[in-house]
Structure 1
Amino acid sequence: MLSSFAASLTQSVRPVTIKVYLSAIKNLHLELGYVDPTEGAHFLKRVVRGICRCHGVAAVRPRLPITFPILCSLVDTCLAAPAMCPHDKRCLHAAMLAVFFGFFRCGELLEAPTTRGCLTFESGMLHVHLPRSKTDPSGEGTTVLIGPAVPPYCAVRAMLTYLTATASARPGSAVFILANGQRLNHSTFTAHVRTLLSTSGVANWQDYAGHSFRIGAATTAALAGVPDHQIRSAGRWRSDACLRYIRTPPSSARTLASKLSSSSLTCQFEHFGKAWPSFPTVKSNNDEETDDDEADNDEAADDDEADDDETAGGDGDKTDEEESGCREGDGAYEGEVRNNS
């Protein structure tokens, strides 16, 4: 029955959505004390795998990363913009730096329930209390710490300057309010960022969005040699899905062969070859199916992480995979790959 249900959905929804529906059916049965209908359903797994192979993955609009060099260009252009009033300059200046250095999803900082009262300064650092976020749906709350940097690219100083200039605002009001009295929401923020990128002469400026700051922060951290676990903690990711945010430039392939054939690695492999003789391995069909199932489960978990990452901010116009941008192979950006050798 589930196989027929999955097959009937192919004309209306994407394969990743079918996986979500089946996962919901599984969870509902378990919560009600029934047996998992997907357990041991090998034919269902084959049907889902065939759907994925036949229909593929829908094209996703690219989301290029705003790395630190691009952020600096954005800030410089913003502060020098002749047509922008001083208030809006301070507002955008603080918003861009805070979103980047805090690894924020835009909705977490720009939308409710985060207010001015959630921001405090202690020991030279900016403390942002998030009453609720995607990884905290129960509303226990979490606090994001942002340290100082070199001006004018310091989020702490930029935020302090903006809040001081708007000290008359109520603590319960939105964090960022433009000169016209409107909240700086996600769509308005993205529009301003694209305008600044276009003015700065950045290529493909239309492929950048608000979430490009979060992607760029993860990419910049990786290039700076920050450990994966620290990147995951800074971005409040629940899994290793944060690794999908790190963009690898095509130029990294130029040095990959030399790294693989380095003398130190060659010596290690020669030693292993003497100690561990190789034997032919025969994999059974059951083993192949098990490996495929594990890969499918891992991919589905990553898709679920990326699909709804903007829902905390109420951004209903996001499509699947849009948070992390594009799938593997679309990582065009300015920078170098992390050195894992």
Structure 2
Amino acid sequence: MALAPRTRRKYGAASEEFSDFRRLRHLEQLWPAPVEHIQQFVVELHWRGLTPGTIKGKLAALSFYAKANGIRDFSGDFRIRKMLEGWSRERGLRQDDRTPISPALLGQLCNLWGLLCRDRFEEVLIRAAALLAFFGAMRISELVASGKRDISKKALQMDDVIAEEGQVRIRLRRSKTDQHGQGRMIILGQCSIMKICPVKALREFINFRGSDSGYFFQHDNGTPLTKYQFWKITDMALERTGFRNMRFGTHSFRIGAASTAAALGYEADGIKRLGRWSSKCYKTYIRQLPNA
């Protein structure tokens, strides 16, 4: 069964994400994948804020893997279809209600990553990625690899980061609103609260990482930090802050950046520049910050 290169990469990343999910949940890597495993995976994706359409795309990857290997496919099970149908109807009745991450909440997360990460390298890696996501108002796809085998180089590369005295310059190669790849430059200055200062965090990570080419955010073995890995450890930290009943997702950093700017009195043009918005859609990102 032939697939376009882009589709093959997406399917590969989704299959790896399912494998990582089962490993972290201590589920056996059984094939055919039991319906119960797929149900748990789908619920996890839903709580991370993924749309039913995005979840269906990941299920299509599992279906393709099963069929390509002559294995029975349970991804289209009646129970899973009904879950997705229900979420689709629910989504049509409500607006995006993901909770923004605030500077105060960022400070709490910075205190917790050291307790959750396996070593100092991982702690510095996750902290730098999170602070850049917030202060750069970045989409997660612009920041980290979609999966372990992602070779598209769409996410941040080492060559895109220039650390200077008192600031860090980030070259954004391509984004959702820049499909032609003209690129944008993001300049981050120092924060007065050193615990959440992005310049300090990024310079510290570079000292750990070294200057080898490749994805900027990578583990000490050279493999890229993936979207799933980044959010899994962040979600674990959020649970410990007492905010687990709120709906956080990877986009909560970008939402938090816009909401914080509005709370600080930024004018519309300033908020639009921050998030690289060209229309009034920036208003949908401005929400009440959680009390942390």
Q: Shorter-chain TM-score: which interval?
A: 0.5 to 0.7
Q: CA deviation at 1:203?
A: 3.6
Say whether residues 1:84 and 2:118 are aligned partners: yes
Aligned length: 196
1:156 is matched with which residue: 186, 199, 205? 199
Cα 1:334–1:83, aligned 2, differ >3 Å: closer, same or farther? closer
Which of residues 175, 178, 183 in structure 2 aligns to 1:136? 178
Any conservation in 2 of the 1:231–1:242 contact (CA below 8 Å)? yes
The corresponding residue for 1:199 is 240
Q: Residues of 2 paired with 1:56 and 1:93: CA distance? A: 32
Query: Is 2:98 aligned against 1:63?
Result: yes
Aligned-pair identity in percent equals 29
Deviating above 6 A after TM superposition, structure 1's stretches of 4 or more consecutive aligned residues are none
Structure 2 equivalent of residue 98 of structure 1:
132
- AA paired with 1:222? A
TM-score by length of 2: 0.62
Q: Is the 8 A contact 1:78 1:93 kept in 2?
A: yes
Q: 5+ unaligned residues in a row in structure 1: which ranges? A: 1-16, 18-54, 249-332, 336-341
Could you tell me which residue of structure 1 aligns to residue 107 of structure 2? 72
Alignment match of 2:259 (pick from 219, 223, 230): 219
CA contact (8 A) 2:122 2:219 kept: yes
Q: Which amino acid aligns with 1:138?
A: H
Q: Name the CA distance, whole Å, in 2 between partners of 1:56 and 1:199.
A: 28
Q: How far is the alpha carbon of 1:58 from its aligned partner? A: 4.9
User: Which deviates more, 237-246 or 117-126?
Assistant: 117-126
Instruction: Please say which structure displays the higher CA radius of gyration.
Output: 1
Q: TM-score, normalised by structure 1?
A: 0.53
Do the aligned residues in 1 keep the contact of 2:170 with 2:186 (CA within 8 Å)?
Answer: yes
Check the 8 A contact 1:232/1:238 in 2, yes or no.
yes
The Cα offsets for residues 230-283 of structure 1, whole Å up to 9 and x where unpaired, read as 0100100121111111114xxxxxxxxxxxxxxxxxxxxxxxxxxxxxxxxxxx
Kindly report the root-mean-square deviation, in angstroms, between the aligned alpha carbons of the 2 structures. Answer: 2.5
CA distance in 2, matches of 1:56, 1:245: 17
Unaligned runs of 5+ in 2: 1-52, 54-89, 146-152
Task: State the SS of the aligned residue for 2:171.
Answer: strand
Match for 2:274: what amino acid?
A: A
In the TM superposition, residue 138 of structure 1 has moved relative to its aligned partner by 0.9
- How far apart in 2 are the matches of 1:204 and 1:189? 20
- Equivalent position amino acid for 2:259 in 1: T
Question: In structure 2, do the counterparts of structure 1 residues 151 and 122 end up closer, same or farther at CA, with 3 Å as the change threshold?
Answer: same
CA contact (8 A) 1:66 1:215 kept: yes
SS of the equivalent of 1:152 reads helix
